Structure 1
Amino acid sequence: MNFEHLRALTAVIDEGTFEAAADLLRLTPSAVSQRIKALEASTGQVLVRRRVPCTATDAGVVLLRMARQVQVLEAEASAALGNGVASRAQLPVAVNADSLATWFVPVLHEAAGWQDTTLDLHVEDQGYSSQLLRQGDVMGAVTSDPVPVNGCRVELLGHMRYIPVAAAGLHRQFGGAGGADWADMPVLKFNAKDNLQRQLLAAKGVEQSPPTHTVPSSEGFLAAIKAGLGWGMVPELQLGNELSEGSLVLLQEDVHEDVPLYWQSWTLDSARLHRITRTIRDAGRHRLLPAAAERRTGKGPSGSSTAGRTRRR
């Protein structure tokens, strides 16, 4: 199987169009099209859905995964042979937005010193990121799915704790010392996948949803809470001194959600993949709660164990 044909396949899928892939590869769109057609002829199957953006068929996913592996191994072999300056290999990784804004930051600091690797980060809800592995879009993913994708290894990184908070002014307006008025106090959600606030409201017996604002950004979500737009479940790791200073209020002391996070990556013998695995493992060990913490103290909105639940972003 021709390496240049595989390289054309990854370019078309990553860039979304034959024209953009041609620009990346410094070829004409016709040349890229011919390489894809040759690859499809050799496999006897359609590999690319010709639409905007272009996507891989089921057969294309299989070859896309192999193509990414070949590119990484090719770059590492070239470096090991000392063939001039080591080429940079792209390392596509999926991570949820809350992690990217908190405990994952040290990984970025480490990656800044890697002269042979460029990161291609895909921000996706941890409950859905394993699908990117199945599609061949990424080589590793921070996910809440403990079941390894075929051809992948999985390890528990730790648990991320979320707590319900609101701006002090909003808390005074909707309850104050008498407790939060859960039925009327405005609430935030990250996106349609975010059900953590709904779980807490259901546990409080609130059947009809209060005014709900959508803020699809980790930093924006916290900023909206500080502005008094609504209350929400926020990672403890994302908070500074807001609670001690009184600008934010913890709505209920004994309620939190501990979300397990796993690292899934391809079982590829790659120095680059092993390195980022070690880096992510170390970052998780230093910032996330250990597994034992949830078994010892973890309670969800209803007071029950939260093992196995998923969380937004």
Structure 2
Amino acid sequence: MKDLDSAGLDCLAALADERSFERAAERLSITQSAVSQRLRSLEAQVGQLLVVRSRPLRLTEGGKILLRFARQLQALRSDVVRELGERAAPHERIAIAVNADSLATWVLPALDPLVQRGLEEGFGLELVVDDQDFTHDWLRQGEVLGCVSTVKQALRGCVVQPLGVMRYVAVASPDFVKNHLGGELNAGNFAHQPFLVFNRKDDAQALWVSKALGVRKPRLRERFVPSSEAYTRAVCLGWGIGVTSELLVRPFIKSGALVALQPQTSVDVALYWHQWKLEAQALGAPGRVALLDQIGAALAAGARSALGKRQPG
């Protein structure tokens, strides 16, 4: 196969992000016909359709393979631009996927030095949020270049490193414990109590009940609050029992705004950082650390600081 057209790859990435030809054209500052022409040229080059022209449009399996390459090419190009002392194009950014609780606690402080420097260098960053059990799918499909995930095994072409263990504990407001639990949560009253759940992918509550109370496959009364900060606020207001990151609720427990239920019991979630391999030699600058590698190093250092030295076994 001849060298793939970079302009066509940029169009493919824009289409994957924007899910429409009109918005992709606006992002790239070209016409819709130019986007269509570049995509057709790329499809002709590889001999297969890359995009299903639906609403919203979606990528074929071949399109997802090329999208991974397009993302890596854009990351390498951004590094070259930084090496030359120029600013990256406005539409170019490095996307990584993280779980909401990590984003609400340690990810932003970990990335802050890089982002502050990026204000001068002009590189873009996109944080995609999903459940830690599903962020890996974003990496596999080529939507992001790195992810914080519970998956331990690296994809082919990727590297992985352990970040540490995020501990999840059960909490409730003092009034809720007094008025609804009679002072404690137990196997006799849990089924009648509302549990706050982040979203339909969240199973921390059922795991905690199984572990703490010895109940197999518990059926819970659920109230959904899909925001880490709002979730904590809802528990403080007495909406129900929460099972959430100990990092997030630690100050509330310390102040007395929340009470830990069976504090000896927790659900421990091992986290890993995955990223695509981007060879520094490809930048024409051996010894220069690629931006994606810098992001991975910053996240690893931030996780060690926030999560402690405990590592998954």
Give yes or no for the alignment of 1:212 onto 2:216: no
Tell me what 1:247 maps to.
Answer: 257
Counterpart of 2:166 in structure 1: which amino acid? M
Give yes or no for the alignment of 1:53 onto 2:59: no
d(CA) in 2 for partners of 1:164, 1:251: 5
d(CA) in 1 for partners of 2:132, 2:210: 23
Q: 1:207 to 1:141 in 2, by over 3 A?
A: closer
Per-residue CA deviation, residues 1-54 of structure 1 (Å, 9 max, x unaligned), is 221111111111111100111111121111111111111011110001111222
d(CA) in 1 for partners of 2:160, 2:111: 21
Tell me what 2:95 maps to.
Answer: 92
Tell me what 2:72 maps to.
Answer: 69
* Greater per-residue helix proportion: 2
Residue 178 of structure 1: CA displacement? 5.1
- Retained in 2: the 8 A contact 1:18–1:33? yes
Which residue of 125, 130, 136 corresponds with 2:131? 125
Tell me what 1:174 maps to.
Answer: 180
d(CA) in 1 for partners of 2:184, 2:248: 27
Residue 113 of structure 1: CA displacement? 2.2
Tell me what 1:135 maps to.
Answer: 141
d(CA) in 2 for partners of 1:140, 1:208: 34
Kindly report which structure 2 residues correspond to 1:264-275, keeping only aligned pairs within 5 A, or say none: 264-269=274-279, 271-275=290-294
Counterpart of 1:124 in structure 2: which amino acid? D
Q: 1:170 to 1:25 in 2, by over 3 A?
A: same
Counterpart of 2:195 in structure 1: which amino acid? V
Q: 1:176 to 1:243 in 2, by over 3 A?
A: farther
Give the TM-score, by structure 1 length: 0.87
- Retained in 2: the 8 A contact 1:160–1:289? no
Q: 1:179 to 1:21 in 2, by over 3 A?
A: closer
- Retained in 2: the 8 A contact 1:166–1:225? yes
Tell me what 1:17 maps to.
Answer: 20
d(CA) in 1 for partners of 2:235, 2:146: 32
Residue 81 of structure 1: CA displacement? 4.3
- Retained in 1: the 8 A contact 2:177–2:184? no
Which residue of 155, 173, 198 corresponds with 1:190? 198
Q: 1:72 to 1:240 in 2, by over 3 A?
A: same
Which residue of 268, 291, 299 corresponds with 1:280? 299
- Retained in 2: the 8 A contact 1:143–1:261? yes
d(CA) in 2 for partners of 1:208, 1:279: 39
- Retained in 2: the 8 A contact 1:189–1:213? yes
Q: 1:178 to 1:224 in 2, by over 3 A?
A: closer
d(CA) in 2 for partners of 1:79, 1:103: 27
Q: 1:21 to 1:218 in 2, by over 3 A?
A: same
Residue 125 of structure 1: CA displacement? 0.8
Residue 199 of structure 1: CA displacement? 2.2
d(CA) in 1 for partners of 2:73, 2:116: 24
Q: Any idea what SS the aligned residue of 1:32 has?
A: helix
Q: 1:272 to 1:178 in 2, by over 3 A?
A: closer
Residue 210 of structure 1: CA displacement? 4.2
Q: Any idea what SS the aligned residue of 2:79 has?
A: helix
- Retained in 1: the 8 A contact 2:110–2:302? yes
Counterpart of 2:77 in structure 1: which amino acid? E
Residue 258 of structure 1: CA displacement? 1.4
d(CA) in 1 for partners of 2:245, 2:257: 16
d(CA) in 1 for partners of 2:185, 2:80: 63
Q: Percent identity?
A: 37
Q: 1:2 to 1:254 in 2, by over 3 A?
A: same
Tell me what 1:165 maps to.
Answer: 171
Q: What stretches of structure 1 of length at least 5 have no aligned partner?
A: 296-313
Kindly report which structure 2 residues correspond to 1:22-37, keeping only aligned pairs within 5 A, or say none: 22-37=25-40
Tell me what 1:4 maps to.
Answer: 7
Residue 247 of structure 1: CA displacement? 2.1
